[in-house]
Chains A and B, each alone.
Chain A
Amino acid sequence: MAQDIAQKSRKFDIVGTRPIRPDGIDKVTGRARFGADMNAPGMLIGRILRSPHAHAKIKKIDISKAAALPGVKAVVTRDDFPVTDGNAGLMDILTNIMAREKALYDGHAVAAVAATSASIARKALALIKVDYEVLPHVTDVDASYKPGAPLIREDLITSGVEPAPTKPSNVAARHQFGHGNVDTGFKEADVVVERSYKTEATHQGYIEPHACLASVSPDGQADLWVCTQGHYMIRNVCAQLLGMDQSRVRVTASEIGGGFGGKTTVFIEPVALALSRTANRPVKIAMTRDEVFRATGPTASSSMDVKIGAKKDGRITAADMVMRFQGGAFPGSGVEYGAMTSFACYDLENVRIVGWDVLCNRPKLAAYRAPSAPIAAFAVESAMTELAQKLGLDPIEFRLKNAAKEGTKSCYGPTFGPIGIIDCLKATKDHPHYKAPLKANQARGVACGFWFNFGGNTCVSMNVGFDGTIALAVGTPDIGGSRASMTMMAAEELGIPYDKVRCIIADTASLGHNDVTDGSRTTFSTGLATINAARDVIKKACQRAAKTWGIPEEAVVWEKGYAKPAGANAGKFEPLSLAEIAANSPNTGGPIAGHYEVNADGAGVGFASHIADVEIDKETGRTTITRYTVCQDAGKAIHPSYVEGQYQGAAAQGIGWALNEEYIYGKDGTLQNAGFLDYRIPVASDLPMIDTVILEVPNPGHPYGVRGVGETSIVPPLATIGIAISAAVGKQMTDIPISPPKILKAIKSKG
């Protein structure tokens, strides 16, 4: 609490302003180098052959003709990726990047070539002969959950079920969360809502396809340039998969053209390294858009049953939910995140969530911005509004009555500290948007959402030049302006101007391990580490000033960029700037650098509440979003423009998911819409301006009160829009995406 007050009363000079980002000019002039923008002398082009079948036994791969084609320098298959001693998760990654006994989904990699040109590489792929035995497949989560579905793994026994099943199935695991007794709770309820929902898989849709440039020498030294959210993860996983020493693999993170969770694992990188090792030449691989859709990591698709009961006064007595998620042909659908986040906005006495992790013949899921939470929130928030309607209560009042607060035991276990859900709901209720009149065929929806926010392993170096300027080395790739926030926090803490700090993303050999940029963790964790590295610099600068003045270290204080004597008793000395201390540092002990290493804990959880107005064209079923407002708790907004940008971007992705985006599989189990023409993400003419309200409930776990902001606002839109469309058409819409055919059907079914 003391820190809470200190955070609120602190006056900032730089934090909270909107300076121009340090990587900005490179990005508006075309100079910034992304994954595919790097070349090397003697470079080869790598390409990957992919399965055209959803499920097939790979009986034989004949590479002889491809290998003999002039210009082909390497061909690799499963034989070049021997089974590792690693854990099951690592084996799954290995199996995903190169198929072994079976192709498990349309697009699964089966071989790769490196050649002197892209056209030779393409020709070589056509010369590889793969002998497949096509197997029955399953791509729907409910079909795969049922007994008798085509088995994807012959040895998969469901975990988390007592007693353990004796027969294999496609159900990898059962997860359960909650507390209290839902049966008792439902007996106390006056009104109960019970409904089932489905959501289809979506893709992160980053505009930059995966790309990398690998160079491996026969002595085992390797360099890799890659667009990724986590270059240390790439290094560690590739080293394990290929039997290399981590420290001999040096990975540099390029500028990254969007990730949203989709660039938190490996796909092409181990393949490029293996090709380069075989050819002893640098190899570049850039995915096509078709490959990105078919063979990277989309979200789960789901099917869910929700039941919520409440007293007439609006107090919820019980909440119960069953979720079935498929996350592709491997365990790990993320259903547990869906289960944990589902009811996290609410203070519930009796709550139970059961999640089933199901396999399907689809690509292996990767994270997508607050993974699983938007899916769960769609079901929960839709049911919450339906229940409010049955109770005759305003949907925000109903949520406020049941909202979680400091001290609430969350549905996933932990007890909340200071949180912002009530602030968000009140801001939503007070927003002019909530009271604005609606036109004909328009309706409004409101929903809220939760995301944990991550901390994690973080390492920062702050190097002071002899002129007192700062080179700040961080290890978390900048996916949305984080170098600006780090620069701001460093300058704020040191008390020097913004333009005296330059923040770079260091390569894996230049800085200790950093976890992936994910879970909205970077401004929190790397920010926390940056502030503490600055405090380390300040401590050292004060020591040098003390030495210069010949007074005790404790008698020196740091104020706005200057070392000063602590008081009159300390002696009378002119304050020394960081630049002066740095210039004299060779005489006081050598160069000055600050460091901080931490496994950051205390990431404050995030809440948001959204309002959407929709207008339905009753002839075509098209939905137009006429107005959209986001209210979200940022803890403390370091660079408000980029906080707003996160809110707006997350909302836009949620709008696309709600209305249009979906993976469409044919009867043969192949993906039917692997391109931006048929997988339609929102374009500029689809959206209105997206209003934002930044709330600041400080996070006690961060020196400035920061909470992660990147993900939470993708959680409410599916429900917000679903609720609005349901109101507009007069029917509960339970199937995401709520595309025009579904809306027309709903309108027609009402007669």
Chain B
Amino acid sequence: MSQIHVSTTVNGDAYEFLCEADEPLLDALRDRLGLTGAKEGCGTGDCGACTVTLDGRLVCSCLVLAAEADGQKIGTIEGMADGEKLHPLQQKFLEHAALQCGICTPGFLVAAKNLLERNANPTETEVRYWLAGNLCRCTGYDKIIRAVMDTAQEMRRA
């Protein structure tokens, strides 16, 4: 079976690749583009470790076909920092010790950034429900929620 040609934009950079018809976007990002920040935790859209944005919409990249990325804009964890300047969420995750093993962290950061772009002043409950599609097994979520709330407050002041 012939492969599909895909032209897409990832974190503002143009990419082209060939993929299988049944290939998940996650596999294309990781294996073809070398962007391994998105992780496969389940492959069934239950854990959120592969979270990226597709034209500004949060998706589990394991449930999107790579071919669907053609002509779209993808955002991944690798595009979150501005050069050596971390995004405020990344900085707050470090300060609040909001990660232990770190495997879920890219997905949480991409999802939390998307939340704050839509809602600059979320309540704790809103943060908890927005991030309910991202599983973390290490932290019990406490420090993650605090880091997101603290970031929101700081970004509102800025």
Residues of chain A having any CB pair with chain B under 8 Å:
18, 20-21, 23-34, 36-37, 39, 118-119, 204-209, 255-260, 286, 288-289, 479-481, 639, 641-642, 644-645, 648-649, 651-653, 675-677, 681-687, 689-690
Contacts and interface: CB of A to CB of B under 8 A. Distances in A.
Interface in B1-33: 20, 27, 30-31
Contact of A645 (B31, B132, B143): B143
B94 A209 contact: no
A36 B132 contact: no
A-side interface mostly: loop
29 contacts: A25-B86, A25-B90, A28-B105, A30-B76, A30-B78, A36-B30, A39-B31, A118-B27, A207-B101, A207-B103, A208-B41, A208-B103, A255-B103, A257-B39, A258-B100, A260-B137, A286-B40, A289-B44, A479-B100, A480-B138, A481-B97, A645-B138, A648-B140, A652-B141, A676-B46, A683-B132, A684-B144, A687-B141, A690-B140
B37 A31 contact: yes
Given A29-B90, A676-B46, A687-B140, A649 B41 contact: no
Interface in B52-93: 76-78, 80-81, 86, 90, 93
A677 B139 contact: no
B142 A689 contact: yes
Given A27-B105, A207-B137, A208-B103, A119 B20 contact: yes
A204 B101 CA distance: 14
Interface of B: 20, 27, 30-31, 35-44, 46-47, 49, 76-78, 80-81, 86, 90, 93-97, 99-106, 109, 125, 127-129, 131-146
A687 B142 CA distance: 8
A31 B133 CA distance: 22
Q: List 10 A-B pairs, minimum CB-CB distance, nearest first.
A: A30-B37, A257-B103, A652-B140, A27-B102, A641-B97, A30-B77, A676-B46, A648-B140, A28-B90, A289-B42
Nearest to A28: B90
Contacts of A27: 99, 102, 105
Contacts of A119: 20
**Residue of B36, B42, B138 most packed against chain A (CB within 10 A):** B138
Contacts of A684: 127-129, 131-132, 134, 136, 141, 144-145
B44 A675 contact: yes
B44 A28 contact: no
Given A18-B97, A684-B131, A29 B102 contact: no
A115 B109 CA distance: 35
Contacts of A204: 137
B102 A209 contact: no
Contacts of A257: 39, 41, 101-104
Nearest to A630: B140
A332 B65 CA distance: 44
Contact of B101 (A20, A256, A652, A677): A256
A681 B103 CA distance: 16
Given A26-B102, A645-B100, 17 more contacts: A25-B94, A28-B102, A29-B77, A29-B78, A30-B38, A30-B77, A34-B103, A204-B137, A207-B101, A255-B102, A258-B101, A260-B137, A480-B100, A642-B97, A677-B44, A683-B132, A687-B142
Given A30-B38, A684-B131, A20 B95 contact: yes
A676 B44 contact: yes
Nearest to B110: A30
Contacts of B78: 29-31
Given A30-B38, A33-B36, A684-B144, A288 B139 contact: no
B139 A645 contact: yes
A648 B99 CA distance: 12
A649 B129 contact: no
Contacts of A652: 139-141
Nearest to A655: B140
A641 B93 CA distance: 12
Nearest to B91: A28
A670 B54 CA distance: 37
A625 to B, nearest CB: 11
Contact of B100 (A286, A481, A677): A481
Contacts of A18: 97
Given A645-B138, A684-B132, A207 B106 contact: no
